[in-house]
Amino acid sequence: MANQANAYGFRPVRMSGSGPSTNGQTQYLIANGSGTAIFQGDPVQMTANGVINVANGVSDVVVGVFNGCEYIDVNTRKPVFTNYFPANTSSYDGVIKAFVIDDPNQLFEVQATGAFANTDIGATANLVYTAGLTHSGTSQAAVNAQTFGNSANNSVKIIGLTGDPENQDTSSNNCSVVIKWNKHLYSANTAGI
């Protein structure tokens, strides 16, 4: 049976070593009025300005996965909690708080764009970034199966299949895999900002 072609970004599943996952989040900042939307499940990077932005390039070093934000509406002056940051949004007080799942040992499930073989376990791969869905606020990021290989410069390391019965046909595109970040800001041997 073919897999569902419905990318959903990065979903936390467990910790490395099968330890219990708390899905702990750390508060970061988004630039007030940023022109880039960030969706729940999007990989994010830290910029030199001390704020986060979408990590959508091959060379990006990920700080974690965006899980939502909080800001003060400029018209109502009331707090807004949302699972995605709409582009060009400003906060009344100038502060937009982002909540990021940033533990480098957190494992995530994500859809791969191509077919998968058992020999791909332990391989590395890069991301495919497509802007998320505004009606649900969810990411459309995926892992690029065309980049499965052994490069230390690839974004993620493939840990295995998720076991999702709707997306476990390894001979078809879009199976769901478990990954660990290969290039994470808080991992050993990565440069600072």
* Percent of the chain residues past pLDDT 90, beyond the cut: 62
Identify residue 61 by its one-letter amino acid code. Answer: V
| Dihedral angle over CA of 28, 31, 35, 36, nearest 10 | -10
Confidence of residue 193 (pLDDT cuts 50, 70, 90): low
Cβ contact 55:64 at 8 Å: no
Q: For 26, list phi and psi in degrees, rounded to 5.
A: -120, 145
All structural domains of the chain with their residue ranges: 23-101, 104-181
| DSSP type of residue 120 | G
> Could you report the per-residue pLDDT of 41-66, keeping only the tens digit for each?
999 999 999 999 999 877 789 999 99
Q: How far is CA 150 from the centre of its chain?
A: 21
Burial class (CB within 10 angstroms; exposed 0-12, middle 13-18, buried 19+) of 37: middle
pTM: 0.92
Q: What is the predicted pLDDT for the residue at 189?
A: 64
> Could you report the per-residue pLDDT of 141-184, keeping only the tens digit for each?
999 988 888 888 889 999 988 877 777 767 777 888 999 999 99
Residue 170 or 37, more confident: 37
Residue 18 has pLDDT above 80, yes or no: no
Cβ contact 105:188 at 8 Å: no
Which residues, in sequence order, are bridge partners of residue 12?
A: 108
Residues 6+ apart with CB under 8 A from 93: 72
Neighbours of 174 (CB within 10 A): 21
